Amino acid sequence: MWGDVGVLSVATSVKKGRASVVKSAHALLERVMDFVLPPLCLRCDTPVTQNQTLCADCWKTIHFVAAPFCSCCGAPFDLPIEGEMLCGACLETPPAFASARSVFLYDDESKPIILRLKHADQLHGLPLLAQWLAKAGEPFWPQVDMIVPVPLHRWRLLSRRYNQSALLAVALGKRVGKTVRVDALLRTRATPKQGHLSKKQRAENVARAFAVRQGAAVAGKNIVLVDDVLTSGATLSECARVLIKAGAARVDVVTLARVRVAS
């Protein structure tokens, strides 16, 4: 009996020792990498003390979204407001999603973070961005069954090589411990870029541009859609519409950035 206990104790000690060695090796590797490739600010490339962060100056310039904001789309209000209230845009045209939350405003200060992720292959900041998304969508996670990114059309995916929304969704899923289905939605037709379009034109542009992939099993599920930027909300609303049509119980949205709604 005591012999078995002794063997078990030795085995446990060996296992702990190996784990300690692996942990020390990882720590040493991180120090070497920091020496060879010093950590830089995700926005401006200023040297910082640790990876996946912003420098002090950039922290000051980013306009993080905080209450009070629209209880539906999450657009921040300029004046103090008590209780839940909808913005004018949501009152006029309610989106298909239940609610949306964003990390920061999309402006000249935050734009470099989005563009580096979207077009410059700078993916090393994904853990920090996922942390921010997790915080922004904190009220959602207790009831969420599935995280789904907004898809790219296959031709745009081929030219860009990756879908930044899918990468954000995967990193977010790991952060909050939720299932991610990067292929649950399909972009069934290529749509023109929307930068120059009005809100109405954006809605028309993405109408019937998405479909739920066969076998995605979204029926009865509470789903969180993930995208990089919320502008008019047309794309996210259309994605939510097709998910709800396929039987989803509820669809909420988290994005890194959102364009400020004109007051």
Alpha helices in the chain (DSSP H): 2-36, 56-61, 88-92, 111-119, 126-136, 154-160, 164-176, 199-206, 234-245
Answer whether 197's CB lies under 8 Å from 234's CB: no
Q: Are residues 210 and 159 in the same domain?
A: yes
Q: Are residues 4 and 81 in the same domain?
A: no
Q: Are residues 65 and 150 in the same domain?
A: yes
Q: Are residues 20 and 87 in the same domain?
A: no
Please indicate, yes or no, if residue 48 is contained in any of the structural domains. Answer: no
At 13, the pLDDT band (50, 70, 90 cuts) reads low
Q: Looking at residue 225, which CATH number applies to its domain?
A: 3.40.50
pTM: 0.83
Please write the tens of the pLDDT for every residue from 45-92: 899 988 888 999 999 999 999 999 999 999 999 888 887 899 999 999
Percent of the chain with pLDDT over 70: 84
Distance CA 160, CA 157 (A): 5
- Identify the residue with better confidence: 33 or 252: 252
* Count of domains forming the chain: 2
pLDDT tops 70 at residue 195? no
Q: Are residues 80 and 107 in the same domain?
A: yes
Q: Are residues 110 and 205 in the same domain?
A: yes
Please indicate, yes or no, if residue 43 is contained in any of the structural domains. Answer: no
Please indicate, yes or no, if residue 45 is contained in any of the structural domains. Answer: no
Q: Is the peptide bond before 80 cis (omega within 30 degrees of 0)?
A: no
Please indicate, yes or no, if residue 263 is contained in any of the structural domains. Answer: no
Q: What is the pLDDT of residue 33?
A: 45
Q: Which residues contact 24 (CB under 8 A, 6 or more apart)?
A: none
Q: Are residues 123 and 213 in the same domain?
A: yes
At 3, the pLDDT band (50, 70, 90 cuts) reads low
pLDDT tops 70 at residue 18? no
Domain that holds residue 17: 1-37
Q: Are residues 214 and 125 in the same domain?
A: yes
Q: Are residues 190 and 224 in the same domain?
A: yes
